[in-house]
Amino acid sequence: MSEAARDLVGYGNKKFHFSWPGGRRLAISIVVNFEEGSEHSVSTDGIVEGIGEFLPVDQKIRDFGNESAYEYGSRVGVWRILDTLKKYDARATFFATALALRANKQATDAIVKAAHEVCDHGLNWTEHYRYTYEEEKDAIAKSVAIIEELTGKKPVGFYAREPSPNTLRIVQELGNFIYDSDAYNDDLPYRLTPGGILILPYTPDVNDFHFQSPMHRFSNSSDFFVYLKDSFDVLREESKSKPKMMSVGLHTRVSGRAGRVVALRKFLEYVRGFDDVWIATREEIARHWIDQVEPVLV
């Protein structure tokens, strides 16, 4: 997208007269990133992965330490998070790379059986800005086919992580997607252009990503829980006059760790005490917005 196409105004101070289902005011989208086996590695794409439990190795060789730490998410962490979501009857959206799903069909089947949403997170971790238009369209089409084969349903949401100028055009051309989440710029869904795909903003801050190296902004579960709670409290207060959407970003290899899943458990325990809050998948939020909100949005 060119600089001229940027919108720095958005909804501004506009007041909205709508509610989420059941008259609720704040929609919460819990996102679980399931990516293990798709990360950068010298053996697959010639790149040393720069984010993980450790700083990356300083040579262009396999980083066995970080590979092993990533594997924890697929071997153990995903099950701990699934158990936590089940305990609190919370449905999440899994930002899943197609290759990660294919590498662990047992976990994929459990995600589907629990009625969580699988959002297309690409074929693997190749940043989409590295692709030509043809390469990117082919990669996304392959990821759609793999996800449909494994889950029985084409994904309706897409998240590239690092999109290209062509990403939105491609996901619209493919026809199965109703929303894209490659944006961090609002608390409500929106469209870039009339008739364009719905944008469901994601979050770079309410995100366990910050436990990892090189960020290390969260040092323990209390740090993350306080940030979750503070974000929720502010958005819920604001939602009394203008409905809001809150995204929570998790990763199986991060919040799936025993000492970190505590933050998720405390947060779900806290929010279930409020009857004006709707925990929903991103597909549910997108469909409500398209079917119920946009027709009355003026």
Per-residue pLDDT of 69-99, as tens digits, reads: 999 999 999 999 999 999 999 999 999 999 9
Q: How far is CA 161 from CA 164, 240, 262, in A?
A: 10, 32, 26
* Residue-wise pLDDT tens digits, 195-227: 999 999 999 999 999 999 998 999 999 999 999
Give the rounded percent of residues in the chain with a pLDDT score beyond 90.
83
CB count, 10 Å around CB of 177?
A: 23
Q: What is the pLDDT of residue 298?
A: 62
Please, what are the domains in the chain? 14-296 (3.20.20.370)
DSSP state of 20: B
pLDDT band at 2 (very low <50, low <70, confident <90, very high): very low
CA–CA dist 191, 199 (Å, integer)? 6
Residues sharing a CB contact under 8 Å with residue 160, sequence separation 6 or more, in sequence order: 121, 122, 127, 128, 167, 182
DSSP per-residue letters across 126-162: --GGGS-HHHHHHHHHHHHHHHHHHHSS--SEE--SS
- Radius of gyration for the chain, computed over Cα atoms and rounded to the nearest angstrom: 19
CB count, 10 Å around CB of 206?
A: 22
Q: What is the pLDDT of residue 54?
A: 87
Q: What is the pLDDT of residue 48?
A: 85
pLDDT band at 1 (very low <50, low <70, confident <90, very high): very low
* Residue-wise pLDDT tens digits, 102-139: 999 999 999 999 999 999 999 998 999 999 999 999 99
* Residue-wise pLDDT tens digits, 135-179: 999 999 999 999 999 999 999 999 999 999 999 999 999 999 999
| Among the ranges given (29-33, 54-58, 255-259), the one the predictor scored with the smallest mean pLDDT | 54-58
Q: Is the pLDDT of residue 3 over 50?
A: no
Question: How buried is 105 (Cβ within 10 angstroms: 0-12 exposed, 13-18 middle, 19+ buried)?
Answer: exposed
Residues sharing a CB contact under 8 Å with residue 247, sequence separation 6 or more, in sequence order: 28, 29, 31, 201, 202, 203, 206
Q: What is the pLDDT of residue 119?
A: 98
Give the rounded percent of residues in the chain with a pLDDT score beyond 70.
98
CA–CA dist 33, 184 (Å, integer)? 16
Maximum pairwise Cα distance, the chain: 56
DSSP per-residue letters across 104-116: -HHHHHHHHHTT-
Top pLDDT among 151 and 38 is at 151
Q: What is the pTM of this model?
A: 0.95
